[in-house]
């Protein structure tokens, strides 16, 4: 996680333009809350700019956290799967594409479509749609920022022609594969070779852990005081941690029964191994 100093600022015109555009999501209540959370400026310049060291960027960290916190289960799963594909299949070396791009793809999906279309049966439809949007963003070097559509998130990404062509081809192949695209993820593929039943169990475990970890990071941001200190006594944060510990204990217990020493069974080490 990158840590960047920021200064609170007011930009009502930008937020009002965002709030009044036609949408299926989020609800008016959430829109109002996002507007109330305001904006921040950070000392981050545009890549490749001659004035990079003196430029500032407007961002909406708390508002975006609120938006992600209001994604439904299927939307969160699409977000997690896109990030896994980014990290384990595309594997950018110079941050030409980041998880922030994936987040914006999912936010645009959520805003542009009726929420009842996002359900368990449509998961792979939306993953396919997300890959299509990612391919378009790479091919055209253009993806509008969800909060300020005039800002191109792919501008000055440093994406060269060779890498661009390769990723467009790779994503096209993944779209053709459909659900089999999950087999491109190393740990899932290894599990399939070993045995299909443990693979299904592992996929279920990892998916839930990924989603809980995203929820945990979001909740930590929401539970920070004015000094940036997280209130770990927050009830929702405790619920997430409790569920994580339940899952990790479920993974560790068979290892203990089979004779693995207790000093080798660390919950946080197991969490890192699952998130891989």
What's the token pair of residue 43? 């000392």
In a domain, 66, yes or no: no
Phi, psi dihedrals of residue 22, rounded to the nearest 5°: -65, 135
Nearest 10 degrees: Cα torsion 20, 22, 28, 30: -90
Same domain, 170 and 191: no
Same domain, 190 and 232: yes
Q: Spell out the residues 6+ positions from residue 53 whose beta carbon is closer than 8 angstroms to its own.
A: 45
Same domain, 53 and 40: yes
Same domain, 25 and 82: no
Same domain, 46 and 118: no
Identify the CATH number of the domain in which residue 122 sits: 1.10.1410.40
Query: Whats the size of the chain, residue-wise?
Result: 276
| pLDDT per residue as tens, the chain (276 positions) | 556 678 888 889 999 999 999 999 999 999 999 999 999 998 877 766 667 777 888 999 999 999 999 999 899 989 988 998 999 999 999 899 999 999 999 999 999 999 999 987 788 889 999 999 999 999 999 999 999 999 999 998 889 999 999 999 999 999 988 878 888 877 666 655 665 565 566 667 777 888 888 888 888 888 888 888 989 899 988 998 888 888 878 777 666 655 655 555 566 776 776 666
Residue 257 sits in which domain range? 185-276
Same domain, 194 and 258: yes
Q: Using alpha carbons, list the distances in angstroms from residue 53 to 5, 6, 7, 61, 119.
A: 14, 15, 17, 21, 45
Count of domains forming the chain: 3
Cα–Cα–Cα angle for 28, 106, 3, rounded to 5 degrees: 95
In a domain, 155, yes or no: yes
Same domain, 225 and 206: yes
């Amino acid at each position: 996680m990158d840590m960047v100093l920021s200064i609170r600022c007011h930009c009502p015109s930008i937020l009002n333009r965002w709030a009044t555009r036609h949408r299926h999501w989020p609800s008016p209540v959430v829109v109002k809350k996002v507007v109330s959370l305001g904006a921040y400026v950070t000392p981050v310049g545009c890549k490749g700019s001659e004035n990079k060291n003196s430029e500032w960027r407007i961002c909406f960290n708390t508002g975006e956290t609120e938006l992600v916190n209001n994604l439904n289960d299927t939307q969160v799963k699409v977000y997690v799967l896109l990030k896994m594909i980014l990290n384990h299949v595309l594997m950018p070396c110079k941050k030409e594409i980041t998880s922030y791009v994936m987040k914006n793809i999912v936010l645009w999906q959520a805003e542009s479509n009726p929420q009842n279309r996002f359900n368990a049966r449509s998961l792979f439809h939306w993953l396919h749609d997300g890959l299509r949007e990612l391919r378009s963003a790479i091919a055209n070097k253009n993806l509008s920022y969800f909060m300020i559509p005039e800002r191109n998130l792919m501008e000055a990404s440093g994406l060269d022609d060779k890498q661009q062509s390769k990723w467009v081809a790779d994503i096209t192949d993944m779209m053709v594969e459909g659900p089999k695209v999950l087999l491109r993820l190393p740990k899932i593929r290894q599990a399939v070779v070993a045995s299909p039943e443990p693979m299904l169990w592992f996929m279920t475990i990892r998916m839930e852990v990924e989603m809980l970890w995203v929820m945990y990071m979001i909740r930590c941001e929401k539970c920070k005081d004015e000094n940036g200190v997280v209130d770990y006594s927050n009830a929702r944060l405790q619920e997430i941690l409790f569920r994580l510990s339940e899952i990790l204990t479920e993974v560790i217990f068979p290892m203990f029964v089979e004779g693995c020493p207790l000093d080798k069974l660390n919950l946080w080490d197991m969490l890192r191994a699952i998130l891989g």
